[in-house]
Amino acid sequence: MKNFISVKDVHDIEALIAQGLEYKKDPRKDESLGRNKRIGLMFFNPSMRTRLSTQLAAKNLGMDPIVLNAGSEGWTLEFTDGAIMNGTTVEHIKDAAPILGAYFDILCVRTFPKLQSQAEDESDHVIQSFIKYAKIPIVSLESATRHPLQSLADLITMTETFREKRKPKVVLTWAPHIKPIPHCVANSFTEWTQAWNQADFVVTAPKGYELSTQFTTGVQFSTDQAAALEGADYVYVKNWSSVHEYGKILGDHSDWMLTEKHLRHAPNAKVMHCLPLRRNVELSDEILDGPRSLLTQMAMNRVWSAQSVLSEILKGL
């Protein structure tokens, strides 16, 4: 594996999941794989789980990670080719990225979309610029369009918890939020679940919240949340802003917040959310504090997801 930006970078999803579960059993089994390899983690946006789990994963593989809070402590970078830099940007990515490429063997980057222009966000220009100019393997810690380490952890979580000899029914349900939220987790979960091909998958959201077609080709979509939830084995709860009215919130849909009542026809459903979340806006206390919640397990599986990916990249260095 050269870069890890989307599921398209993965040759064998099942093998990546299985390797993650092996690391869960024996975290230090490949502790010499990353010896003398340097890994940098650049955060243009906040993080708790991604920041800590990726460092834990790197340490398990014998690496010594270095974190730069680029959004708050780094120079403001310019990404536009030919820019006359007489404004707020201080350093061009063409100048900064090759230096990071020389400092590190692997560079991990977190950057969020601005939610102002769909075309700009979908170009994923920040992460693509690092790939172009750093010339070392780049790992997405969440980009403008996707959150692949989260999605791999989600598949690891479903793999280790589903015991039936059939495909699980997996529902991605839109949840309310008080502010416009990126589409990355929903896009990525959709893309990975489709590529995995081990689940009966449906996305449900209010009209106007359909995801971008580049992620939903062949995916069942319903605006009837109750029908979609019926018989679900996994319910992935996530807010995202509108794609059609890009980056906007379309009215009040507070009744979409998942409660036990919503799951009355899904007695075995386990509930997933990537965190962070706003209690009693996105998800109810009764679910979060009850036996359906997989949230802590999912966050723990972020370590094994990152370790499995870093391991594949290290093997190719």
Distance from C-alpha of 180 to C-alpha of 173, rounded to nearest angstrom: 16
Specify the residue, 59 or 92, whose C-beta has the smaller distance to ligand CP.
59
Whole-angstrom distance, CA of residue 65 vs CA of residue 179: 33
Contact 121, 144 (CB under 8 A): yes
* The only residue of 47, 188, 239, 284 in contact with ligand CP, by rule CB under 6 A: 47
Select from 43-51, 118-126, 190-198, 238-246 the region that touches ligand CP (CB under 6 A): 43-51
How many CB atoms are closer than 10 A to CB 239?
29
Nearer to ligand CP, 232 or 272 (CB): 272
Nearer to ligand CP, 228 or 295 (CB): 295
Contacts of 18 (CB under 8 A, 6+ apart): none
In the complex, what is the shortest distance from the CB of residue 248 to ligand CP, in angstroms, rounded to a whole number? 22
275 binds ligand CP (CB under 6 A): yes
15 or 275, CB closer to ligand CP?
A: 275
Q: Determine, following the binding rule CB under 6 A, whether residue 49 of this chain makes contact with ligand CP.
A: yes
Q: Cα angle vertex 294, ends 184, 46, to 5°?
A: 40
Site membership for ligand CP, residue 72 (CB under 6 A)? no
Stretch that binds ligand CP, among 83-91, 99-107, 230-238, 272-280 (CB under 6 A): 272-280
Choose between 150 and 307: whose C-beta lies nearer to ligand CP: 150
Nearer to ligand CP, 231 or 276 (CB): 276
Q: What number of CA atoms fall less than 13 Å from residue 96's CA on the CB side?
A: 18
Which residue from 140, 150, 157, 225 is in contact with ligand CP, where contact means CB under 6 A? 150
Using the contact rule CB under 6 A, the part of the chain among 101-109, 257-265, 270-278, 288-296 near ligand CP is: 270-278
Q: Among residues 50, 55, 151, 216, which is the contact residue for ligand CP, using CB under 6 A? A: 50
Min CB(141)–ligand CP separation in Å = 7
Contact criterion met (CB below 8 Å) for 171 and 202: yes
Instruction: Concatenate the DSSP letters of all residues of 125-191 into one string.
Output: HHHHHHHHHH-S-EEESS-SS--HHHHHHHHHHHHHH--SSSPPEEEEEE---SS---SHHHHHHHH
Whether 241 and 248 have beta carbons less than 8 Å apart is answered as: yes
Instruction: Enumerate binding residues for ligand CP (CB under 6 A).
Output: 47-51, 142, 150, 274-276
